[in-house]
């Protein structure tokens, strides 16, 4: 499996750690969107796409994010410790949608995406820079509507 394209959309917010959203194409056949480039204490790192974890209200069954204090549906009070904890004892509030299953794959993805991010950052300093549009439709995919 080979990364054949990385698209980078820079985030223009100097005070935040989130620096870009990316999409990654594998073998010219499969796209993973919403990959994040984050500035950490040791440099840039890649966060895979994730979703907020949720549970259901004990009273009405309505779906709520784990940090919610009250049900979105019936306003019943929700318990504080509804989230499972990870191996480090931290509340697990997000679940990866797509992710590498070994360290070598993670390292390869991170290297390719951070390199593309740094190249896009350099391009952004040039006159006439036009940001990448991650939402532009793929030419090869027939319209499903």
User: For the segment 43-87, what is each residue's pLDDT rounded down to a tens digit?
Assistant: 999 999 998 888 999 899 999 988 899 999 999 999 887 877 888
Comparing 140 with 117, which gets the higher pLDDT? 117
pLDDT of residue 137: 56
CATH 3.30.1120.40 intervals, the chain: 1-49+97-140
- Report the chain's C-alpha Rg in angstroms: 19
Q: Which residues of 30-55 are buried (b: 16+ CB within 10 A; e: fewer)?
A: eebeebbbeeeeeebbbbbbeeebbe
Q: Which residues contact 20 (CB under 8 A, 6 or more apart)?
A: 8, 9, 10, 11, 36, 37, 117, 120
pTM recorded for the entire structure: 0.73
- Give me the phi and psi of 117, to 5 degrees please: -60, -45
Contact 27, 3 (CB under 8 A): no
The superfamily CATH assigns to domain 1-49+97-140 is Stage V sporulation protein G (3.30.1120.40)
Per-residue pLDDT at 143 exceeds 60: no
């Amino acid at each position: 499996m080979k990364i054949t394209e990385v698209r980078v959309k820079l985030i223009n917010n100097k005070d935040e750690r989130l620096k870009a959203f990316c999409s990654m194409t594998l073998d010219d056949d499969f796209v993973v969107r919403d990959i994040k480039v984050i500035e950490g204490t040791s440099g840039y790192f890649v966060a895979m796409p994730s979703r907020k974890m949720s549970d259901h209200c004990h009273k009405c069954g309505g779906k709520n994010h784990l940090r919610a204090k009250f049900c979105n549906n019936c306003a019943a009070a929700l318990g504080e410790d509804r989230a499972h904890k990870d191996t480090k004892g931290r509340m697990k509030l997000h679940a990866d949608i797509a992710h590498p299953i070994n360290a070598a794959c993670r390292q390869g993805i991170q290297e390719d995406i951070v390199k593309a991010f740094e190249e896009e950052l350099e391009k952004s300093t040039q006159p006439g820079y036009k940001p990448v549009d991650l939402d532009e439709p793929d030419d090869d995919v027939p319209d499903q509507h």
